A = this chain, B = another copy of it.
């Protein structure tokens, strides 16, 4: 920095101001300094800068799983908001492992990020709670009841209700549900399904088949249904993958979708939109989740400590896997 000041023929203090993009520096000074800096190949040392300034203007974003495009969309929303507010986003991945997540959070904390955003994270609540006491923390995608932190997620129970309502409107009464076992979101989706069936007077027709969010589980569920006396006229699967597995099992048995059985999935995964599959499904406002979570965090960082828990509305996407109920339904 010393050298840059000399090269530009100004003071060290001015160089510092320019590098920080302070409005106190005149336009010509700015130019002179930048020119000198690039001539010398100088660039500010963030470690030194952060150390002296005692803040980093950085937020750490922990993504549970890079393989899942869900997180990519949340990250897009986060980046958008954070950058507009002048924060750098640094990413880390938990690779589906709580201990890796935990180390990532430690790294964020050691790096003195100004705030932390966790997307779909699985580490123990107590661990997160502890982190939240060091720095503002918001969870995206998973509702966390913890104190001192915020969360933004989609309303899974509502999503399930939308799926059931859609099928009911198509005339279906025998609507089964393939659930997601102990997976994330499985419980509220199942509860939402049961509540919705009851609300339309179909509690007696409700039927939950165990699954685990895999294609394989959807396939098994399909084979199970096919062995029974009466085939339901519609199935609501807890995610798209099991919906596809189910459709496959039905197809192998010569059962037409949606002619004989309608199918609705959940998540609006990328492949759901492939023409070849055309799955009706429930879409989560992933981008909005990211935006809101980032907004909440940025607001908290700016002093207005308004960490709350918000639920966003999912919506139905209708494609070719759902249709009118068959005659004998």
Residues on A lying within 8 angstroms of B by beta carbon are 41, 43-48, 50-51, 56, 63, 65-67, 69, 71-73, 75-76, 79, 88, 90-93, 95, 106-107, 109-112, 134, 215, 219, 244-245, 247-248, 251, 270-271, 274-277
Contacts and interface: CB of A to CB of B under 8 A. Distances in A.
A45 B271 contact: no
Copy tally for this chain in the complex stands at 2
Give the interface centre of A91, A244, A251 by most chain B CB atoms within 10 Å. A91
A50 to B, nearest CB: 4
Contacts of A109: 43
A230 B171 CA distance: 45
A75 B79 contact: no
Contacts of A51: 45, 47-48, 51
A34 to B, nearest CB: 13
A88 B112 contact: no
A75 B66 contact: yes
Contact of A275 (B48, B66, B76, B219): B219
Contacts of A45: 51, 110, 112
A93 B91 contact: yes
